Each structure stands twice: as structure tokens, then as C-alpha cells.
Amino acid sequence: MKTSYKPAIHFNHVNYSVEGRPILNTIMGSFPEGKITTLVGPSGAGKTTLLKLCNGLLSSDSGEIYIKDKMISSYEPVELRRLVGMALQSAPMINGTVMKNLSLPLELQGKQLPEDEAKELLHDVGLDEEFLSRNIRDLSGGQRQKVSIARTLVNRPQILLLDEITSSLDRTSLQEIEELIVKINRKYNTTIIWITHNLQQALTIGNYTWVMMDGEVIETGKSDLLKSPVNDKVKRFVKGEVE
Ligand SMILES: Nc1ncnc2c1ncn2[C@@H]1O[C@H](COP(=O)(O)OP(=O)(O)OP(=O)(O)O)[C@@H](O)[C@H]1O
């Protein structure tokens, strides 16, 4: 992607395969720092796989990935997880209170989450502090997703990876989560990489968009590209002719 911004993540000829089957082919390009880039494309295009390469959940077969100008392989795993947070559609939670769930990332590092910080995190995601003592199973889908995002923010990641975080939410919760992510992006200058099936969302929320198909990035640019794509396959995709 041609941009004057510094890259938060840069891919140089990245390939990834499973048991000899290519999943990602020659991925090239950058996600600009402090911006929201959406990843769109049909099911099975390789979007989640690409995201998992960005926080070390998967390792590429060949090519280089740079996170903030440093090769991803040069980071300690804990350092990388702190720098690059990830939230998923399913928002997996442990049984217990919201406080217990928010504390988890630091507990895994042998640290404790001060209550003041927990309250600030809830404030950041638009939840009242009285939620701290609520049991996770009593929350709505939208509230759970907010707690999941707050938990990802515990480490104050500079890069946030989001995989379909609004796809199972009602319209109101969807809008709240969208506003919340934009707020986090602006307040902390967090780089956001957001997989979405919702092209309207990509258009309104994203600064930039990558369109992926069959393991390749086939069109990138400002999110407006979705209104008038150049590539024929992307034209068919935005018309809804490719699922
Ligand atoms: N561990 C694995 N073993 C075998 N195949 C895999 C594995 N992980 C991913 N794949 C395959 O790689 C391709 C890309 O999967 P990926 O989940 O990255 O796509 P996606 O674009 O995120 O799809 P969706 O929008 O449906 O979530 C798919 O064909 C998938 O079946």
C-alpha cells in the first residue's frame, strides 16, 4: 500500500502453508501506524491466518514480518503479546466475575491488576465500574464483547487485531463497539487491523482496506476502494456475487 505513514506491521513476501497446501501466497504490504485497516474477503480467503501471523500465534514458512521495524522473530513471545493484542468474535471468558476475567492477562505474567486500573479499563469500553463484580455469565453478548476488548487493553497494546468482533451482535451493540474501537484508536493512537464481513463497516470505520481472496491480497488502498474497485474479482465480491 502506498502511504506516507510509518508501518506498524510490514509483510515482505510472506508465505504460509498447512501440510504443503498454500494458505497465504506472497503477502506484501504494510498496515499504517495509528490507522484502522480492515481485512475483507470471502470465507476461506486467509484473513484469520494473516492476523494470527501478526501476533506469533502462527509462524510463516518464508518471507519476513516486521512489527514496528523489528523482525517478528526477534521479539520475546510475552513482549509480542503485550505489543499486539487480539480480540475474537467468540470472546472466550473464564467462569467468574468481570474482575477475574480482566485480571487474567496479568495473572498469567505473575502480576496483579489494581482495581483502579480495572475501573479505568471498564470506563474505556463504556461499562460502569459496578460491572467489576458481575458474573460473566449474566452479561449480554455486547457487554461480553466489551469486557473481552477491555481485557485485551490490559497490556495497553500498540496494535490491536480484531477478528469479526461484531458479527454476532445486534445493531445497537454493533454501533457501540464500532464507536469504542474508533475511540481507542484516537485516544491511544492504537493501530487497528480489523477483519469484517460487513463492507459498510469497512467503509465507514476503516481508513484503509485490504481485500483478500484465495490466500492473496488482491487490492489495497483507502477504504473508498470498496465503492469503485479496480480488480474484477473485487467488483464481483462487493456486489455480493462471491461469498
Ligand atoms: N490449521 C489448518 N489446517 C488446515 N487448513 C487450514 C488451517 N487453518 C486454516 N486453514 C485453511 O486455510 C484457509 C484460510 O483460512 P482462514 O480462516 O484464514 O480464512 P478466513 O478468510 O479467515 O475465513 P473466514 O472469513 O471464513 O473466517 C481455509 O481454506 C482454511 O480451511
Dihedral sign from CA coordinates of 128, 134, 136, 142: negative
Q: Which residues line ligand 1 (CB under 6 A)?
A: 18, 23, 41, 43-49
Domain at 7-87+160-238, CATH homologous superfamily: P-loop containing nucleotide triphosphate hydrolases (3.40.50.300)
How many Å apart are CA 10 and CA 196, to the nearest integer?
Answer: 20
pLDDT digits (tens, 9 = 90+) for 34-65: 999 999 999 999 999 999 999 999 999 999 99
With 90 as the cut, is the pLDDT of residue 242 above it? no
The length of the chain in residues reads: 243
In the chain, where the domains are located = 7-87+160-238
CA of 4 to the centre of ligand 1 (A): 32
pLDDT of residue 222: 96
pLDDT digits (tens, 9 = 90+) for 189-216: 999 999 999 999 999 999 999 999 999 9
pLDDT of residue 1: 52
pLDDT of residue 217: 97
CA of 122 to the centre of ligand 1 (A): 33
CA of 72 to the centre of ligand 1 (A): 22
| 40, 225 contact by CB (below 8 A) | no
pLDDT digits (tens, 9 = 90+) for 134-187: 999 999 989 999 999 999 999 999 999 999 999 888 899 899 999 999 999 999
pLDDT digits (tens, 9 = 90+) for 76-134: 998 999 999 999 888 788 999 999 999 998 888 889 999 999 999 999 899 999 999 99
Helix, strand, coil % in the chain, rounded to nearest 5: 40, 30, 35
Strand partners, 37: 193, 208
Q: pTM to 2 decimals? A: 0.93
List, in order, residues 6 or more apart from 142 with CB less than 8 Å away: 169, 170, 172, 173, 174, 176, 177
Confirm whether the ipTM is greater than 0.85. yes
